[in-house]
Chain A
Amino acid sequence: MDLFEYQGKQYFSRFDIPVSAGGVALSVDEAVAAADKAGYPVVVKAQVQVGGRGKAGGIKLANDATEVRTHAGSILGMEIKGHVVERVWVEHASDIDEEYYASFTLDRAAKKHLLMLSAKGGVDIEEVAAKDPDAIVKLHVDPVEGLSLEAARRAAVDARIPDKALTGVASILVQLYRCFTEGDCDLAEINPLILKPTGEVHALDAKVSLDVNAEFRHPEWEDFKATEKLDARERLARDKGLQYIGLDGTVGIIANGAGLAMSTLDVVNQVGGSAANFLDIGGGANADLMAGALEVINSDANVRSIFINIFGGITRGEEVAKGIVEALGRVDLRAPIVIRLDGTNAEEGRQILANAGIPESRLVSKPTMLEAAEAAVVIAT
């Protein structure tokens, strides 16, 4: 789950990482109130989960309430790369001497945590990595041993962070590591991490992605979930406990297992179609799950055909077939179904579907994944 900048900063604060005083605002009046509280001058920042806000005019400096009114008015409702700005973050403007970069992620190849630190921050770190890879220090941290202040300080020296900022940077690194581990982040990134003329080091931005598997031990994440950017289909799917990702094609996909669902998208693409979604109904594939999945697919106006791709392992083919027949009785579908049922007791399952009296204009059964994909794509195009 990706957080907005303001949520990331709130999260940082829990781990004593210094951020600017500020507040989030949904309206111009709220923005002025937040600015008054933070103290002028302030920066008004569009809250969208996409890069390039500054270039798009989504970040503005305001010296007084009138300017806040003007800028918040223009930024709220603005569209940045397809994302409509619903909130602005208004914070006290910082004087900046230098800009650095710091992040923690999991390096899956090394199976260790990875610190990336650079004295060249404030810009796209991918660019720095491409043009000047030596400017980024990478340090693996053993998840059991953790990150000591000494190791953080050595990394800062290696990254050529100037002496006057070393202590501040090292202590923020240790706090950011705590946020990453205890806070169950997939990513905790500060760009830029700034040095102020006063000598203080401070997080000017926050990019945080949370590991939803750890949700059970973070009741404080409830607020973050409320603002998560999901489209209507994704929200409906989540309510039904389904693994769903909305895409923009015309073939609705239902499969059991993440790998098979991904594979189904690929095969549809190979035969010249495009998938409307990724949907994994998991191992169960019973009538309730199937009805829920069909309902979600049915809510997508782009869907012209529905490809159900089930491989019976533990779940037997006849149970899946019964589930589909029952689900069809509950959901009034706009698009026809093409089904490929294979694996354990697939033949019995196909018989149940054949005997259910569903007209061929509504449900077609195909023996292989490829043939089913072809049939679904023909209907959809």
Chain B
Amino acid sequence: MAIFVDASTKVIVQGLTGGQGKYHGLRNRSYGTQVVGGVTPGKGGTDVEGIPVFDGVADAVASTGATASFVAVPPRAAPAAILEAAAAGISFIVCITEGIPAQDEARTYSTLLRDHPTVRLLGPNCPGIISPGKCNIGITAGEIAQEPSVAGPNVGIVSRSGTLTYQALYELKQRGIGVSTCVGIGGDPVPGTSFIDCLGEFQADPETHAIIMIGEIGGSAEEEAAEFIKANVTKPMSAYIAGVTAPAGKKMGHAGAIVSGGKGTARGKMDALRDAGVRVGQNPTEAGALMAEIVAGLR
């Protein structure tokens, strides 16, 4: 088991003929992901290293039976690409595009909710998702992810930040701890998939025995997650929140990472998570070490 994607997931890449789409799409295929097609308007009938390219998502779905899409197109085209995938029957969309205007993101999210309520969007501006050994969609380097063991215990990872997602994968790999699924939800203001969505799935996934959550300053997603954990998550958790020292009013790289009006501080988020029974590390390594303790206790 894993969450959202597994070995049977068939994936198309929207923007497969572009730089990012080609590079990461082929890497995902090398990892073992079933990358069954690509979409680039006007390039239907061609192929990228054997992967057939279609003019539209509907054609690609009809020919390949894909259920997941990897959107790797520039910011101005991404909202339309996401909605095209949803309309064509894709049920899981991963969008790595960085720099989509917040207004477009909010409209896209609301449109999905209204017209395609069962479709799940991961991102935008996220590193993607990897169920180690089964499926990798996005930009994660597969080699730093430890495959889950049949005996367990295995850990689920959910993170708002790209490099810190890799850091978490790496911390676990160095300690020989298997990962069921690692989800990067992205650092934008309106992420399609939230911490809560992932925590709920991990809680229900029999292959996941413990969970690491990596948050950052800004917004209230971590506080909401803490409430959810209190009420719904029984699996042990460790967490790390980046940005303890971030000054107020400055965007720390991600569009969503900003402390404003005294809200969204790392301290507040850490306190909320501790209050929900999560073990909070002061840095990513400490969160990894705490998880190693948790896993040792489960063995």
Residue ranges of A at the interface with B (Cβ–Cβ < 8 Å): 106, 108-109, 111-113, 126, 142-144, 181, 184, 186, 211, 213-214, 216-217, 243, 245, 247, 255-263, 265-270, 275, 278, 280, 283, 311-314, 342-344, 368-370
Contacts and interface: CB of A to CB of B under 8 A. Distances in A.
Contact of B219 (A109, A269, A283): A109
A270 B282 contact: yes
> Which 3 pairs across A and B sit closest by C-beta, in order of nearness?
A259-B161, A258-B253, A257-B163
Interface of B: 27, 75-76, 99-104, 106-107, 109-111, 114, 139-141, 143-144, 159-167, 170, 187, 189-190, 214, 216-217, 219-221, 224, 240, 242-247, 250-257, 261, 266, 282-285
A195 B266 CA distance: 41
Nearest to B217: A262
A266 B247 CA distance: 11
A227 to B, nearest CB: 18
A274 to B, nearest CB: 8
A237 B138 CA distance: 28
A276 B170 CA distance: 28
A213 B163 contact: no
Contacts of B257: 258, 262
A243 B114 contact: no
B152 to A, nearest CB: 25
A245 B224 contact: no
A344 B167 CA distance: 11
Given A261-B253, A269-B245, A313-B163, 20 more contacts: A106-B190, A108-B256, A111-B109, A111-B110, A112-B110, A126-B261, A217-B101, A243-B253, A257-B162, A257-B164, A258-B187, A258-B252, A259-B162, A259-B254, A262-B242, A262-B243, A265-B243, A266-B282, A278-B250, A313-B144
B254 A258 contact: yes
Contacts of A245: 247, 250-252
Contact of A262 (B111, B170, B253, B285): B253
A89 to B, nearest CB: 22
Contact of A106 (B102, B165, B283): B102
A342 to B, nearest CB: 7
Contacts of A344: 141, 143-144
25 contacts: A106-B190, A109-B220, A109-B221, A143-B103, A184-B103, A214-B103, A245-B252, A257-B253, A258-B162, A258-B252, A259-B161, A259-B164, A260-B163, A260-B167, A262-B253, A262-B257, A263-B284, A268-B245, A275-B245, A283-B139, A283-B162, A314-B139, A342-B167, A343-B166, A369-B283
Contacts, number: 168
A186 B255 CA distance: 10
Nearest to B102: A211
Contacts of A216: 75-76
Given A106-B189, A278-B253, A262 B101 contact: no
A266 B245 contact: yes
A258 B161 contact: yes
Contacts of B159: 259
A259 B244 contact: no
A368 B106 contact: no
A261 B252 contact: yes
Contacts of A144: 107, 110-111, 114
A247 B247 contact: yes
Nearest to A247: B247
Contacts of B285: 368-370
B58 to A, nearest CB: 22
Nearest to B106: A143
A196 B93 CA distance: 52
Nearest to B224: A109
Nearest to B190: A111
A335 B256 CA distance: 32
Contacts of A108: 189-190, 219-221, 256
Contact of A181 (B103, B190, B240): B103
A343 B216 contact: no
A343 B190 contact: no
Given A258-B257, A311-B170, A344-B144, A263 B252 contact: no
A155 to B, nearest CB: 19
Contacts of A314: 27, 139, 141
A181 B147 CA distance: 45
Contacts of B141: 312-314, 343-344
A259 B111 CA distance: 29
A159 B261 CA distance: 23
Looking at A113, A268, A280, A313, which has the most chain B CB atoms within 10 Å of its CB? A313
A211 B251 CA distance: 11
Contacts of A283: 139, 162
Looking at B103, B160, B217, which has the most chain A CB atoms within 10 Å of its CB? B103
A181 B221 CA distance: 23
A111 B282 contact: no
B106 A311 contact: no
B112 to A, nearest CB: 10
Looking at A186, A213, A247, A311, which has the most chain B CB atoms within 10 Å of its CB? A213
A377 B246 CA distance: 18
A266 B242 contact: yes
Given A245-B252, A259-B160, A143 B110 contact: yes
